[in-house]
Amino acid sequence: MSSYLNNHNMAPRVPNQAEEEIDLKEVVAALLRYKKSMIVITVAIMIFSIFIAYFKTDIYQADLTLQIQDSTTSQGQGDFMAAALGTQGGNLGNEIAIFKSRFIAKKVLEKVQLGTRYYTTSGLKTVELYKQSPFIVQAGAISERLIGYEFHVQPVDPMHFRLMLEPTLGMKIGAFFGSASSAAMVQSVTYQGVFAYGSTINTPSFRLKVMKAGEMGMGDYTFTVTPNEYMYSLIQSSLNVALGAEKGSILTLSYQDNVPQRAQDVLNIIAEVYENQNVKIKSASAEKTLSFIDEQVGAINKALQQSAINLKDYKSSHVVIDLGSKAGLAATALSGYEAQMYELQMQESSLQNLLTYLKNNREIKGIDLSTASKSIVSLIQKIQEVNTLHSSLLVDYTPKHPSVMKAEEQLASLKEDLQGTIESSLRGIEERKTTLNGIIQKHTASLESLPEEERQLTQLNRTFMFNEKIYEYLLQKRAETAIIESSTVSGIRIIDDALVGGIAVQPNRALIVMMGLIIGLIIGILQAFIRHFLANTIQTINDLESHTTLPLYSVLPLFKGKKSLYEDALRVLLTRLEFNEEKPKVITITSSVKGEGRTTTALELAGVIGKSGKKVVVLDFDMRESRVNKKLAITNESGVSTLLAGLNSFEEVVRNVASNVDVVVAGPAPVNPYELIISDRLTSLLDEMRELYDYVILESPPAGLVADALVLMRLSDLNLIVFKAAYSKKDFIKSTNRFVNEHQLHNVGIILNGLELKKIRPWLRK
């Protein structure tokens, strides 16, 4: 406090930019000033978040774990038929894409109706009835604007119900304010009628049938209808498929829904659909192979029967002896070699067809690889995987994208490798055929030396044995294929069936409420700072101290009927004046603008001085707009104006209003008050007052409005400028700084008036 008094005679220093920066005290002061609004905003937003958390729909998650089995581990490395049928472990990334595909979603919707949903109210919440609805809706057709719209069902009696459609609040508001589209929408969705259960309701907007499925209470039920074509995206977005391990064959499927049982059902159906489709694809290849073998078996069977008949007829029409051991062995060997030649020709034909298909088709799928080598099967699988990758990239990128071009280059390289491998296999088959032809010709030549009849018998016998071996070969292949078909499994093993936890995965209500609290605090603090920086009025002592270095002589509390506190603050001010080294006697009390409380301050200070036993006089120099006489309810016929004009003596204008307190009102308003103030008579008057009174208080007009105040301030021992909290603008402080500096006033102090008591106490503790 003494620092204010010791420095009161120093010229004020305008704060520089660094001093005007926000400090921690100012931040805390702003928060404390607007703490009520901060609390209200925080509580309001938190209550709103509680409201949201309460009404937010619970989301449950069903989880299922399955394994995509690798058939090579169970069927052997050399089982190329299994590879051809696609039972070997594939790219799990492709399997994930299949699970998330529209195809799977479509198959699921064929098995379960997800688009029609039923609701009822329980307390303040809307509850969905899944498999527990007392009625079932069969929707034949529905207008697009009614998709997902709430249909209300109210039971009328055991045989009838009322069906209603009502416009939403937004539609009603739009129609009320004259929106033509909203008015038309309100009219189109407004519907009501009473119908019998099971009857068809046919309107221009919808066609449906409501059938009773159980006892209906008298409550209000609702249902929504969404066609399947609008449900695909819902299934795809609700389903998540992830790898159980980076290099493993485990997939984890999860599905989220607001009804736990439905989430579990949908996930089980997805796994079932995928498994059945997997079996179907594998069985299709085996069926195709069986069909081909059956055709060959039929043809060979006919040839075998015919060769048996020919052999029998020849033996019955010719008298021949049995073949010699050499001829018999040659015939048996020839039939075996010819059977091998037949197998090679089948392989050659299959590979030729594959080579032609490869040259004429971009993608490679649906090929029977039962006769292909392991290297060919491996290359085809790689090509199929890259083709899938290439197709998926084209969904998001153009053909000129580097990733797409890289995939195309990889495809071209793999196809070139596959073509080279096939051509190499064909050359190997051709070499084996050439070798077999040489062996067959050698054995055929050995039979040429036989007699005619024996040679013919050998030929017939050889044909019969050839057909018999081919027939046996085809029967063996058919049996193998039939076993594969009958034992075809999906290659999928369900490890954990779909299971739903008892706790909803969403929403996290505690988190919502916590976020509401945090957001409320942030918004509350933000509004406090915005109000603080936008507010241009003096709110705290810190607002004064941060904008001026003029000494603060007193802070007067907001007057709320407790005058004792107000007077205590004035006594503190009087004590400071008494202990001031320069003992000011003539004190000018002014303000920057009117309405800041300078008149009240001057009179109340005079009252406190009088009660202390000191004599004091108050002179009202605001001759343009006198207020002292109004405050004291006394006449204004004579006063300072008539005194300075020489029309009255001091004794004629002075009035005693309290013990030791005299007052001289302003008097009639003169034509030019400034001329009276600058007259020598004022100086003489003040000298006289110094002799008669302990304190002379000059109630001055606002310093920022007229020049009268400047004259009085130069003649005074101390000048106190009154600012009023929550009224005086901060710009007034800056104007006061300029006024004091420009006129080099060294005896200026400040009184902050009308401040709340709780904001004064920190200053009193300084």
CB contact at 8 A, 609 and 660: yes
**Is the bond into 260 cis (omega within 30 degrees of 0)?**
no
What is the distance between the alpha carbons of residues 528 and 523, in angstroms, rounded to a whole number? 8
pLDDT of residue 434: 86
pLDDT of residue 18: 42
Higher pLDDT, residue 76 or 650: 650
pLDDT of residue 289: 67
Confidence of residue 328 (pLDDT cuts 50, 70, 90): low
Encoding tokens for residue 219? 């409550």
pLDDT of residue 185: 67
Confidence of residue 573 (pLDDT cuts 50, 70, 90): very high
How do strand 60-68 and strand 250-257 relate by DSSP bridges? antiparallel
How confident is the model over 386-406, as a mean pLDDT? 76
Confidence of residue 70 (pLDDT cuts 50, 70, 90): low
Q: Give backbone dihedrals phi and psi of 90, rounded to 5 degrees, phi first.
A: -100, -165
> Is the pLDDT score of 603 beyond 70?
yes
> Is the pLDDT score of 2 beyond 70?
no
Higher pLDDT, residue 712 or 214: 712
> Is the pLDDT score of 76 beyond 60?
no
Confidence of residue 283 (pLDDT cuts 50, 70, 90): low
How confident is the model over 447-470, as a mean pLDDT? 65
Sheet of 60-68, strand order: 239-243, 250-257, 60-68, 492-500
Higher pLDDT, residue 197 or 429: 197
Encoding tokens for residue 131? 């498999």
How do strand 586-591 and strand 492-500 relate by DSSP bridges? unpaired
Q: Any idea which of 383-392, 618-627, 748-757 has the lowest mean pLDDT?
A: 383-392
pLDDT of residue 61: 92
Higher pLDDT, residue 474 or 575: 575
Q: Give backbone dihedrals phi and psi of 698, rounded to 5 degrees, phi first.
A: -100, 115
pLDDT of residue 608: 95
Question: How is domain 2-18+537-764 classified at the CATH fold level?
Answer: Rossmann fold (3.40.50)
Confidence of residue 551 (pLDDT cuts 50, 70, 90): very high
Q: H or E element: which one contains 697? A: strand 695-699
> Is the pLDDT score of 435 beyond 50?
yes
What is the distance between the alpha carbons of residues 223 and 127, in angstroms, rounded to a whole number? 11
pLDDT digits (tens, 9 = 90+) for 522-531: 999 999 888 8
Q: How far is CA 479 from the centre of its chain?
A: 59
What are the residues whose beta carbons fall under 8 Å from the beta carbon of 21, sequence distance 6 or more? none
Higher pLDDT, residue 60 or 27: 60
CA geometry: angle at 57 spanning 55 and 62, to 5°?
155
What is the distance between the alpha carbons of residues 464 and 656, in angstroms, rounded to a whole number? 155
How do strand 695-699 and strand 616-620 relate by DSSP bridges? parallel
How confident is the model over 552-572, as a mean pLDDT? 84
> Is the pLDDT score of 47 beyond 90?
yes
Across the chain, mean pLDDT equals 80
CA geometry: angle at 439 spanning 434 and 444, to 5°?
120
What is the distance between the alpha carbons of residues 442 and 150, in angstroms, rounded to a whole number? 88
Sheet of 200-202, strand order: 135-142, 206-212, 200-202
Higher pLDDT, residue 294 or 326: 294
3-state DSSP assignment of residue 126:
strand
pLDDT of residue 4: 33
CB contact at 8 A, 592 and 703: yes
> Is the pLDDT score of 300 beyond 60?
yes
What is the distance between the alpha carbons of residues 511 and 131, in angstroms, rounded to a whole number? 32
CB contact at 8 A, 719 and 520: no
Q: How far is CA 661 from CA 53, 273, 576, 651, in A?
A: 68, 103, 20, 14
Q: What percent of the chain has pLDDT over 90?
A: 33
What is the distance between the alpha carbons of residues 539 and 557, in angstroms, rounded to a whole number? 12
Higher pLDDT, residue 726 or 659: 659
Higher pLDDT, residue 327 or 401: 401
CB contact at 8 A, 522 and 707: no
> Is the pLDDT score of 174 beyond 60?
yes
- Exposed/middle/buried for residue 578 (C-beta within 10 Å: 0-12, 13-18, 19+): middle
> Is the pLDDT score of 599 beyond 50?
yes
- Residue among 527, 498, 454, 577 at smallest CA distance from 65: 498
What is the distance between the alpha carbons of residues 196 and 584, in angstroms, rounded to a whole number? 101
Count of beta carbons in the 10 Å neighbourhood of residue 295? 11
- Exposed/middle/buried for residue 445 (C-beta within 10 Å: 0-12, 13-18, 19+): exposed
What are the residues whose beta carbons fall under 8 Å from the beta carbon of 326, sequence distance 6 or more? 446
Confidence of residue 38 (pLDDT cuts 50, 70, 90): very high
How confident is the model over 594-622, as a mean pLDDT? 94
Confidence of residue 75 (pLDDT cuts 50, 70, 90): very low
What is the distance between the alpha carbons of residues 528 and 521, in angstroms, rounded to a whole number? 10
> Is the pLDDT score of 5 beyond 60?
no
pLDDT of residue 3: 34
CB contact at 8 A, 331 and 447: yes
Confidence of residue 145 (pLDDT cuts 50, 70, 90): confident
Confidence of residue 286 (pLDDT cuts 50, 70, 90): low
How confident is the model over 595-624, as a mean pLDDT? 94
Q: Kindly compute the dihedral angle of the four CA atoms of residues 126, 132, 134, 139, in this order, to the nearest 10 degrees.
A: 80
How confident is the model over 118-143, as a mean pLDDT? 88
> Is the pLDDT score of 721 beyond 70?
yes
Instruction: Tell me the pTM.
Output: 0.56
Most confident of 169-173, 487-491, 732-736: 732-736
Q: Kindly compute the dihedral angle of the four CA atoms of residues 212, 217, 218, 221, in this order, to the nearest 10 degrees.
A: -60
- Residue among 597, 712, 750, 704 at smallest CA distance from 8: 750
Q: H or E element: which one contains 727? A: none
CB contact at 8 A, 164 and 223: no
What is the distance between the alpha carbons of residues 351 and 420, in angstroms, rounded to a whole number? 12
Say how many Å lie between the first and final Cα of the chain, rounded.
Answer: 7
CB contact at 8 A, 98 and 106: no
pLDDT of residue 475: 74
Q: How far is CA 551 from CA 182, 748, 750, in A?
A: 66, 8, 6
Q: How far is CA 395 from the centre of its chain?
A: 25
> Is the pLDDT score of 152 beyond 60?
yes
Q: How far is CA 714 from the centre of its chain?
A: 68
pLDDT of residue 489: 54
Domain ranges for the chain: 2-18+537-764, 34-56+507-534, 116-226, 285-489
3-state DSSP assignment of residue 453:
helix
- Exposed/middle/buried for residue 194 (C-beta within 10 Å: 0-12, 13-18, 19+): exposed
CB contact at 8 A, 730 and 537: yes
pLDDT of residue 490: 59
Most confident of 27-41, 127-141, 241-255, 268-282: 127-141
- Exposed/middle/buried for residue 358 (C-beta within 10 Å: 0-12, 13-18, 19+): middle
Higher pLDDT, residue 248 or 201: 201
Number of alpha carbons in the 13 Å side-chain half-sphere of residue 269: 20
CB contact at 8 A, 723 and 596: yes
Place of tokens 């416009």: 167
